[in-house]
Homo-oligomer: A and B are copies of this chain.
């Protein structure tokens, strides 16, 4: 079970709670970018933009490698998965036909398991 008190979830959800940081994530989903490339589409100063990148690094959503004078960032989306798993727990609360979906989910799960057994 995904615990509510996970400090990871705190920082991940907080990192996602700002449009600039979500825009950065979207940019990085297209591949590696340096800080200038990430900052330029944002309507703020460069230092402000790099602060947002630091927040994303704190949430382990972004990793940075230094190449000469450029700082190249890449997305590490694994924490997003954990965030989604927490959210997923409440799917039945927004899904009207949740019984149908639950059975479908179970079906897919068992199918997945039998597939991995065959491997």
Contacts and interface: CB of A to CB of B under 8 A. Distances in A.
Interface of A: 4-7, 9-11, 13-14, 16-19, 22-23, 25-26, 29, 75, 77-78, 80-81, 83-84, 86-91, 93-94
A83 B89 CA distance: 13
A88 B84 contact: yes
Main secondary structure of the interface of A (DSSP, over half): helix
Protomer copies: 2
A119 B23 CA distance: 38
Nearest to A14: B17
A31 to B, nearest CB: 10
Given A17-B17, A77-B90, A4 B23 contact: yes
